[in-house]
Structure 1
Amino acid sequence: MSQQIENTAGELHDARESVPVLQKGAYGAGTLTLNLLPGALGVFSFFLITAFGMDPFLAGLLGGLPRLFDAITDPIMGFITDNTKSRWGRRRPYIVVGAILSGVFFAMLWQLDPEASQEYNFWYFLIFSLIFTIGNTMFATPFVGLGYEMTSDYNERTRLMAFANTMGQVAWMIVPWFWVLIADPDLFSSQAEGVQQLSLFVAGACITLGILPGLFCKGIDASDMGNRAEISFKTIFSNLKEVFKGIKQVFKNKPFVRLCGATFLVFNGFQLVASFSFFIIVFHMFGGDYGATGTWPAWFSTVSAIVTAFVVIPVITWMANKWGKRNAFIISTAISIVGYGLKWWGFDPSNPWMIFMPIPLMSFGIGGLFTLMMSMTADVCDMDELDNGMPRKEGTFGAIYWLMVKIGQALALILGGLVLKVVGFDPGAGAQSVETITNLRLADIIIPASTALLAILVMWKYDLSEEKARAIKQKLIELRGEL
């Protein structure tokens, strides 16, 4: 079917401009799944130590080794989905199967036996982590790629990602309460039972929501897309060469490299201090009394997600449509820096309600990051098609982009512990010194503010403007004719 329409002025338009609400909702459900799985994984992993008796060093290995495996599987899956030929399209079959496998193996992953030996639980968890990673990669990589190709319109891409990320924030409204639920003796007889049972509900939700984009969302019509590699066991080695060739082409795309660099900085800075707020609330505001602290940390995270979803993302979408995506990113990131600074006055022991004061400004950082970067990566895919031809490489771009996110997250976990050690923080102690708390609070502000400032500098010369993106789109329509 023709993918182009000609108006009375003779200008060519792509038919894939407006995304129906049903498809936006389905893609949003997939985004919720994309956030819920790693969010739940992060909370549950804490209980490897407390509920299942895992040595902290071994628990760290169990968190890090699957991320290294991700570095291999993500680009390969990106290449596979870019070059797949099927009656259901390049992405949708993998999304459905991957969502089911992700949910099943996530549930199995957490059916550890607290009475089993540490060695048994280590190998059980590691093996199922690697299997879960394969299933999750099969879901996540084509899912991200599908979002890049659902619309060709410059502003509709931002609206789609804003809608999806608003639904995705629901995961971060829910996840902080897992801590409360798992530790509640009225719900579960032990933390181990809490993890085991709660993982089943998470798995069921992820399967149910994760298959929706595979069933209802539509990407580009790739039935006549040429130059695709053959995907089979016979072509494994030749395809590996093509994988590396595709990665090389991706990293030659200067606007995309800037997107990856800025994302790495903002997300890494945010994640590096993510746990600091919890410690500051407990030890600075409540003197180390966990009972008095209660649910304040959970409410802090939940309110952050609510403000991001229903206040920040709509404002950022408006800014992007009004002033362009690059300018919207710079403005929103600058606003977040002000928010980080306000945390110094927000964490006030005399008034716990003040912790919510910096949230509206802080939330512009992460809220703007994924809404705008996902939209801009879709623009970059058009640029790559013009430069390198078919097949379009949304899967490869998505895999590399999210690989940068995962590397940043892994690095943040390592450096976060190092920062805690440098400031002299002892989470096992009942109280911390004034100097330690002061240094921790300064790190909680300076680190994310500094990385956000560096991200602004990286994006300052980002030159894929709306005018340039629309010119590329017109040229592609002329070159494609019919897809």
Structure 2
Amino acid sequence: MSTEARSERAPVRLSPRTIALYAIGSLGTGGYATLPGLVLTYFLTDNLGVAALAAGLIVTAAKIWDVLIDPLIGAASDRQLARTGSRRGFMVTGALALPLFFALTFAVPPAWGPVAGAISVLLAFLATATAFSLFQVPYVALPAELTGDYDERTRLLGWRVVVLTAAILLFGAGGPALRNAGDDPVRGYLLMGIASGVVIGVGMLVAARTADDAAQRSAVSPATTATVSTWRDQYMSGFRALGRSQPFRALLGTFVLQALATGTMLAGAQYVATWVLRSEDAVTFVFVALVGPALLATPGWTVIARRVGKERAFAMASLLFTAAAASLVFAVWSPGAWIYASVAVAGIAYAGLQSLPMAMLPDVISHDERTSGPGQAGTFTGIWTAGETVGFALGATAVSLTLAATGYISTVAGTTVEQPEAAITGIVLSFSILPAVLMGASLLTLRRYRLRRADIDAVADSDA
């Protein structure tokens, strides 16, 4: 469809208020995705004395729980939308519950011992993950209901990623800074957990207001939404969505591989700071190098997507990230400040890796609704969030397995050890070659994504 034809359709632009409120939600999602991935494994191994393999299993167990509940929450969110006209209830519940459980995750003292400490962290993090899923699944469903326009979705998700990257900087740099503010690491982790949990909860609570805006634009009614009666039916609704939507399968497969790639880098960043750059505080500079360029690059990826299409821009960002990650392998032989430059290039790519697939997901949902009917966005986003969770969980697991295999020595707070050379090499490889290989593999699945602008414009025209 030509530019003139698209302008004749004159889509309604989203208001700055709606965009701002939705974007603020990424203050919560960015904080939750960043801080536990960055410091939780390290908190377990280097503060509570938990073995690296056990620490990885704890993080993975919590993520598996996410995978189990996300499809259920997605289907339940669709039913709530049909019953009440809004997805807001689940979002508010998650926003109110998360700060308490997030603080409890980092409130466990080393004096409890590795076993009791590991169990306590697991239970608290399971509760945190549940609260987050109650918010995240309906939150990701909203863009498909807020607007049907191809470019407006890119605009909406672009501003969301601006806030997301700022949140990554805030939590990735500010969280460890709070932890290290005093001489007592136990109190430092507790302060970090309380302050971060409150900020995450507030961001989520503010974003919940956009659910009402989506409800006003949505054509969903109880008559157009399928009734799901049992937990088995709720799971099957997600598998049916996967089965009938080839674009969803391609996009989800790509996103899961990329979540795994970025998850390995995130979980390995603190170890790189401590044992490669030889400064625990260097993790702050790693995140500044990553997020600073990403903040500037997000509008650029939006412009590129308008000109060449979201899927081509997404492939460009993936290739750039692959090259930047691969270059970090040289830190095995020559560690130094040059690492920040490679991380900065990865940050430019990371902005596109966040905004573009999230802008493509509403396109997939609206394309499916053309044949399957409206009111199933939550089903799609439940599967999507579960897939993202799998990626990040396996990323942390991959790092912990690498540490265990290369002889990494766990410690409790206040003690000092020297890591073997094999462990340091393993840290670098999990921060460079592994994510590069995974990102390269994601390009193969992205090639199977066949939705283009014309397909989405045709859906919007049919709804007009």
Give the Cα–Cα distance (whole angstroms) in 2 for the partners of residues 275 and 10 of structure 1.
Answer: 44
- Asked if structure 1 preserves the Cα contact closer than 8 Å seen for 2:329 and 2:433, the reply is no
Deviation at 1:370, TM superposition (A): 2.1
The residue type paired with residue 336 of structure 1 is F
Match of 2:384 among 401, 409, 416: 401
Identify the residue that residue 286 of structure 2 maps to in structure 1. 300
Using CA pairs under 8 Å that are at least 6 residues apart, name the structure with larger relative contact order, 1 or 2.
2
Give the Cα–Cα distance (whole angstroms) in 2 for the partners of residues 385 and 12 of structure 1.
Answer: 24
Give the Cα–Cα distance (whole angstroms) in 1 for the partners of residues 191 and 350 of structure 2.
Answer: 31
- Asked if structure 2 preserves the Cα contact closer than 8 Å seen for 1:347 and 1:354, the reply is no
Identify the residue that residue 191 of structure 2 maps to in structure 1. 197
Which whole-Å deviations, capped at 9, do the CAs of 1:25-65 have from their partners, x for residues lacking one? 11111111012123232324532444445555554443222
Identify the residue that residue 208 of structure 1 maps to in structure 2. 202
Match of 2:260 among 264, 268, 276: 268
1:226 lines up with 2:195 in the alignment: no
SS of residue paired to 2:338: helix
Cα RMSD after superposing both structures: 3.2
Which whole-Å deviations, capped at 9, do the CAs of 1:306-345 have from their partners, x for residues lacking one? 21122x2111111100100111011121222332344356
Using structure 1 for the length normalisation, give the TM-score: 0.82
Deviation at 1:464, TM superposition (A): 0.4
The residue type paired with residue 68 of structure 1 is I
> Cα distance 1:248–1:9, how it changes in 2: closer, same or farther (>3 A)?
closer
Identify the residue that residue 326 of structure 1 maps to in structure 2. 311
- Asked if structure 2 preserves the Cα contact closer than 8 Å seen for 1:36 and 1:172, the reply is yes
Which whole-Å deviations, capped at 9, do the CAs of 1:69-92 have from their partners, x for residues lacking one? 112210011001112247863312
1:248 lines up with 2:240 in the alignment: yes
Could you tell me which runs of 5 or more consecutive residues in structure 2 were left unpaired when the two chains were aligned. Answer: 412-416
The range that moved more, 370-379 or 113-122, is 113-122
Give the Cα–Cα distance (whole angstroms) in 2 for the partners of residues 118 and 356 of structure 1.
Answer: 34
The residue type paired with residue 179 of structure 1 is P
Give the Cα–Cα distance (whole angstroms) in 1 for the partners of residues 224 and 259 of structure 2.
Answer: 36
Aligned length: 451
Which whole-Å deviations, capped at 9, do the CAs of 1:136-176 have from their partners, x for residues lacking one? 21111111111332211101111111100110112221233
Identify the residue that residue 414 of structure 2 maps to in structure 1. none
Give the Cα–Cα distance (whole angstroms) in 2 for the partners of residues 432 and 123 of structure 1.
Answer: 28
- Aligned-pair identity in percent equals 21
> Cα distance 1:366–1:113, how it changes in 2: closer, same or farther (>3 A)?
same
> Cα distance 1:50–1:12, how it changes in 2: closer, same or farther (>3 A)?
same
Identify the residue that residue 447 of structure 2 maps to in structure 1. 460
Identify the residue that residue 339 of structure 1 maps to in structure 2. 324
Q: How do 1:146-157 residues align onto structure 2 when only pairs under 5 Å count?
A: 146-157=142-153
The range that moved more, 336-345 or 463-472, is 336-345
Deviation at 1:113, TM superposition (A): 4.9
- Bigger helix fraction: 2
Give the Cα–Cα distance (whole angstroms) in 1 for the partners of residues 418 and 362 of structure 2.
Answer: 49
> Cα distance 1:277–1:182, how it changes in 2: closer, same or farther (>3 A)?
closer
1:101 lines up with 2:87 in the alignment: no
1:371 lines up with 2:355 in the alignment: yes
- Asked if structure 2 preserves the Cα contact closer than 8 Å seen for 1:92 and 1:213, the reply is no
Identify the residue that residue 4 of structure 1 maps to in structure 2. none
- Asked if structure 2 preserves the Cα contact closer than 8 Å seen for 1:339 and 1:361, the reply is yes
- Asked if structure 2 preserves the Cα contact closer than 8 Å seen for 1:49 and 1:56, the reply is yes
> Cα distance 1:122–1:451, how it changes in 2: closer, same or farther (>3 A)?
closer
1:69 lines up with 2:53 in the alignment: no
Using structure 2 for the length normalisation, give the TM-score: 0.86
Deviation at 1:397, TM superposition (A): 1.3
SS of residue paired to 2:225: coil
Match of 2:172 among 167, 171, 176: 176
1:20 lines up with 2:6 in the alignment: no
Which whole-Å deviations, capped at 9, do the CAs of 1:227-267 have from their partners, x for residues lacking one? 32457xxx4x3x63244134322343111111111112222
The range that moved more, 40-49 or 99-108, is 40-49
The range that moved more, 445-454 or 273-282, is 273-282
The residue type paired with residue 385 of structure 2 is W
The residue type paired with residue 441 of structure 2 is L
Identify the residue that residue 74 of structure 2 maps to in structure 1. 78
Identify the residue that residue 401 of structure 2 maps to in structure 1. 418
Deviation at 1:200, TM superposition (A): 1.6
- Asked if structure 1 preserves the Cα contact closer than 8 Å seen for 2:179 and 2:188, the reply is yes
- Asked if structure 2 preserves the Cα contact closer than 8 Å seen for 1:78 and 1:395, the reply is yes
> Cα distance 1:271–1:355, how it changes in 2: closer, same or farther (>3 A)?
same
- Asked if structure 2 preserves the Cα contact closer than 8 Å seen for 1:89 and 1:222, the reply is no
The residue type paired with residue 365 of structure 2 is C
